[in-house]
Structure formats: structure tokens, C-alpha cells
Amino acid sequence: MTKFLKLFFILNIFISCSSSGSDDDKGSGPVDSQEIIPSNLSLSFDIVGSDSNNPNGDGSGTVKFTALATNAVSYSFRFGTGRSKTSTGSAEFTYTEVGTKTYNIKVLAYSSTNNYVSIDKTITVYVKPESEQTLLELLAGSSSKTWKINSAQDAHFSNGTQDKRYSTYWEAYAFSKLNKGFYDDEYTFNINGTYSHKTNETIFGKGHHLNDDFGSTSQSPNGDGDIENYPLSNYQTTFSAKKEDNLNKVEFGDKGFVGFYVGEHSYTIECYDSENIYLRTVDDQDIAWYVWLTTNTVSSISPKDQFSSLVWSDEFDYTGAIDSDKWVHEVGDSWYNNEVQSYTSRLDNSKVEDGKLKIIAKKESYNGNNYTSARIISNTKKDFTYGRVDIKAKIPGKKGAWPALWLLGSNFKTVTWPACGEIDILEAAQSNNFKVQSTVHHPDNYGGGDSHISNDYSDITEVFHVYSLVWTKQALTFYVDDKPHHIVGNSCALPFNWNQFIILNVAMGGTMGGEIASDFDSDIMEIEYVRIYQ
């Protein structure tokens, strides 16, 4: 294949009063017998980088022109942009208007007596947008990359307030938008700045934006105002990617977009690696919309089953003190949240027996407090990022007890709470009627945190349940007995993308435990196993 696809246009110019002239008469009036009139004017041009795949060029915008006429000594090239150049027969011009544009070209051939003939043609040239090279290569690789919505992950599609860089309103569960016209879309970014959207003939988006921008359809929007399978053919346009205002921005030409259509064509990349990107756009109602894309084959396995390798566990199949190769006691007499217990490492407060870890809260005077308990952690023994955590436990239920199964950022000593991040798989107390409550805490939402209380379980103080966290770069999803009840979208703006460790404890009183029953003597949290899968 040749580097240049040469487009050659030849026009025989017949000498007449209307097609030739001089600088004085501009082609009107009789021709003086001493005047020399050029003839046989032809024009050819090469669009740099043009080939069968890129007929309008490689995006540089450079075009090489050649003109030839009998009896011509100079040529004036008019490039269709208001600019011109005079030469003896060749000229090079670089177009700068981004996109695929058509220009009207005019060339005048002059003789030694300043008479001329002219030729007009049109030319279509592609100019790629300027992009920051690192972002361009992220999106397109060395040539091109194709992305799809990562529908196998929770929070692959979500929205939130425009002043945050993560979802706050709503997150979609994995595969929950099947048959909605966008899971089969393919988004291809090319290194030359072109973009292809393979729609497979249908897309998903807000009905009024789809109808306004792409034409009305007979389909009616659903109750949310969305058209789930709006008809739209595959299309091509351009894109640019730049770092501006400390944001990684992607701009699409024409009506280009990604994911769920909300009438916008400008996005920011909030998170990325070579195989995953988290895109954000804000609609005209100041609602932020997010979508996770991947270059990998999208899994058909649900998130809870994607982590299948058991990498760490304690089955509590021994007797006596906790395994010091897996756990560390945190001891002390003063704690946050107005708690009133002393944590000890005594067997009176924590021990393994009957195949279970038992954390025992007791009423007793100890180091100035009236209650004792235990708090054991995996910090320095097992710190990890992403995976599935399963904890099978039965929760104490006496008034004043505050049991918790949770994770804390391993950098808590250097960045402190809540910047280190906290993930509460389960906490319960009289204040929430000993219901299942799961929460995350971070700098934007620490007090009450992002919490959810499930009313599906009223027996957690009586029977064992498996409490689980599935933690990915896309989401934190909380389960009871393999049933999800709460999802929190993850983001690079949140502190949930570095190591955390497990904490098991029973606090007394405090902001959640509340008033302690006057007849409280002791209560026990029993844990049958703790398992981490990655």
C-alpha cells in the first residue's frame, strides 16, 4: 500500500472571454493578439498519509498541491481558508481546523503577459485534535484500543452530586442493565485522534437528549425518562485528551459519547490503569454520571465469585489464645466514640474454644473502667488490597454492647482517620435494634458515613450468618449469606485503593452502643471463621 493516495484532477481549459483574463480586464473584453493565454490547466494534490483506510489523511492536515498549464509562468493557490500562496507550480499547506472538513480550492495560472485561467476543486481533509501523549496512549495504545462497559462489576454505572468525584446517589449492581442497549457497545480510540462507536444499532440514555440530538423515535421513555434501546447506527468522529486544571479531560467531536447518553460530549478520566478507566460527565441538571470501561473480556461471573483463591484464613480449629501468627491484640483503656471499655489480651476477654473465637465483654472494674473486652487485628499479619472477606459470626445482643467486624486503612498511623478509610462489614447495637448495618467512612463522609441498615435479618444475635465484603477498584459491596444488601461505588478520590486490615471487637456504650443495661454482666461475640479470597 503506498503511503500517499494520490488524487489527480485534470481540467482542460478552453480559452474564452469567460474563463481567462488579465489583471487589468479580469477576463472581459477582446483578447489582444500579443497576449499569451495559459491553457490545459491541471491540478493534483496529495493528502499526506492518505490511504484506503484513511482517505482524508493521517490527521496532520498537510496537503501537497501541484498545478501545471501550457504557457503558465506562475500559479496562485487559494486554499479555501482565506490564505493563498504564489509559486512556480507547487505548494504545501497545513489545515488546522480539527475534524473532517471540506474546502473549496482555486488555482489561477498566469502567463508572462499576466493573463490567467483558473480551476476550482473541493478537497476533504482530516485534522486530528491535539492530545496529551500519555492520555492518548492510555486510550489508544500504540495504534488503537477498544473498550467496553465492565458490566461484571458492581457500580459499573452510577451517578452522584456534581461536586464530588465519586458516585453518591446510586450504583448499578453487576449485569443489572442487561438488554438495555449499551452492554454490547464498543468504543474504539485510535492514535490518530479518530473514534469509533460500535452501537450494534441501539444505545441507552435519557429520552429527551436522545430525541433532541439524534432524532425522534416512536419509543416511549421508561419511568426514569430513559430510552433503553434507542436506534442508532455505528458512527465515527474525533476525540482529544488533555490534562487541564489538574483533570484528565476527553472531548469528543460532533455528537460522540461513551456509555449512557445524557447529552454531553466532554468527560474526565477519574481513575485509570492500562486496562480500566473510570469516566465522568456532568449533565445539564448538575448530576454527575460515571461508567467503568475495560479492554479485557467482560466476565460472566458475578462479583462475589470472581475472587476464588483462598489466600488467608483462621478457622479457629485450635484451643486457647488467638494465633499470634495471624492476630495482634490492641490493648488500652481510652478509646474513641465515648466508649467505656478497657481492651485486654487476657483469656477472660478473648479465647478460642469449641472451634470458635469468642470475644467476651464483661462488667468489671479494670484500669479505671467498669467494663472489659477485646479487640484483635490482623495489622502487620495480613494487610491487603481488594478481595472478598467472609466472616461467619453470631453477634452479642445485650443493651450497651457494640460489636463490629470491620477494616481500617493500614496507613492509619500516618494519615489518621478518616483519611485512611474505614470499611464496616457489620456493626450492630441497640441503637439500630441489632440490625445488620454496613458503612464506609472517608474524609467527605465520616460521622454517620455511607451507611445502610438491612431489615431482612432479625436474628443476628441468635444464629450465625456469613457477613461478607466484596472489595474491588469499582465498588465495595456488602453481603449477608451471599445476598447483597449495600453497595458503595469506589473511586480514586476515595481511600479504598490501598491496604487495609481486619478488626474484630466488642465495644461498650459509646455513640452507637448507647446506654448500657443496668443488669449487664457479660456478652459474647462468636466467630466461626475469617477468610480472605483474592
Which set of grid coordinates corresponds to residue 283? Answer: 449533565
> Prior bond to 418 cis, omega within 30?
yes
CB atoms within 10 A of CB 88: 10
Identify which of 68, 71, 47, 67 has the alpha carbon closest to the alpha carbon of residue 59.
47
Identify which of 134, 260, 257 has the alpha carbon closest to the alpha carbon of residue 207.
260
Identify which of 461, 467, 450 has the alpha carbon closest to the alpha carbon of residue 502.
467
102 contacts 123 by C-beta, under 8 angstroms = yes
Q: What is the DSSP letter of 430?
A: G
Identify which of 107, 110, 105 has the alpha carbon closest to the alpha carbon of residue 95.
105
Q: Exposed e or buried b for every residue in 468-478, given b needs 16+ CB within 10 A? A: bbbbbbbbbbb
Q: How far is CA 265 from the centre of its chain?
A: 15
Residue 293: is it exposed, middle or buried by C-beta count within 10 angstroms (0-12/13-18/19+)?
buried
Residue 239: is it exposed, middle or buried by C-beta count within 10 angstroms (0-12/13-18/19+)?
buried
Q: Where are the alpha helices (DSSP H) in 150-248?
A: 207-214
CA separation, residue 398 to residues 181, 223, 361, 504, 510 (Å): 51, 45, 10, 18, 14
Which set of grid coordinates corresponds to residue 201? Answer: 444499532
Give the integer Cα–Cα distance in Å for 39 and 37.
Answer: 7
Which set of grid coordinates corresponds to residue 318? Answer: 485450635
Choose, from 92, 427, 462, 526, the residue flagged as catalytic. 427
Residue 444: is it exposed, middle or buried by C-beta count within 10 angstroms (0-12/13-18/19+)?
middle
Phi, psi (deg, nearest 5) at residue 183: -65, -25
CB atoms within 10 A of CB 147: 23
Identify which of 33, 41, 81 has the alpha carbon closest to the alpha carbon of residue 61.
81
Choose, from 228, 270, 422, 526, the residue flagged as catalytic. 422
Give the type of residue at 10.
I
Is 339 marked active-site?
Answer: no
Is 427 marked active-site?
Answer: yes
- Helical (H) or strand (E) element with 413: helix 412-415
Residue numbers annotated as active site: 422, 427
